[in-house]
Amino acid sequence: MITENEKISLPKIDWALDALEPYISKEINDLHINKHHVAYVNGYNAAIDALEKAVGKRDLKSVVEIQQNIKFHGGGHTNHSLFWKNLAPVSKGGGKHPDTSSALGKQIVAQYGSVSNLIDITNSKLAGIQGSGWAFIVKNKQNGGALDVVTTANQDTISAPHLVPIIAIDAWEHAYYLQYQNVKLDYFKAIWNVINWAEAESRYSA
């Protein structure tokens, strides 16, 4: 969790840049992590510094503008940090569905019938995003751990405290265009081969 005025940094990535091939290329991961995510980190840290100065000057107009930058870059960092954690190479369990006897597995079967059905619903939500955004599979703590698939625009995060994101899928062009070009549906299908369901299970059960 980010506290007030705290600087952020790029999180540790648990796999090599080429470890998600052939589903996500090394080139995409390099650009995505070392350019785009780094830009969110730098943008957030710069905005925090600028906000402190604007508050000191009582510059209300600048404060409002800077807060929008903090929301955007902070959201980009938060969403991507989850995204990297919920990816894993096939050799380390990427794409392996949760066991139907596990807490998450039971919930998926109860609500959707199968993991494949949940994936299809998530892909449909992803395809419906206009412009840039994210799709999240979330746990509803106020509804007995029920699952839902929700989307956000741009770098907006899941802000409701009773919703716990367990899987995040990036629908921005930078996540797929170098490899899949304009056929983003192929990217949405491919990424499930490297989804870290064990991480999702851990987040669901926490």
The answer on whether 77 is annotated among ligand-binding residues is no
φ, ψ of residue 148 to 5 degrees: the values are: -150, 160
Alpha helices in 86-114 (DSSP H): 103-112
Please check whether residue 2 is in contact with residue 74, taking contact to mean a CB–CB distance below 8 angstroms: yes
The answer on whether 170 is annotated among ligand-binding residues is yes
The answer on whether 120 is annotated among ligand-binding residues is no
Angstrom distances, CA of residue 17 to CA of 22, 88, 90: 11, 11, 14
The answer on whether 174 is annotated among ligand-binding residues is yes
Length of the chain measured in residues = 206
Range 102-108 contact pairs with CB under 8 angstroms and sequence separation of 24 or more: 102/201, 103/145, 103/201, 103/204, 103/205, 104/166, 104/197, 104/200, 104/201, 104/204, 104/205, 105/201, 107/145, 107/146, 107/147, 107/204, 108/147
Please check whether residue 127 is in contact with residue 185, taking contact to mean a CB–CB distance below 8 angstroms: yes
User: Distance (Å, rounded) from C-alpha 4 to C-alpha 31?
Assistant: 29
Q: Which residues are annotated as a binding site?
A: 32, 80, 170, 174
The binding site for Mn(2+) comprises 32, 80, 170, 174
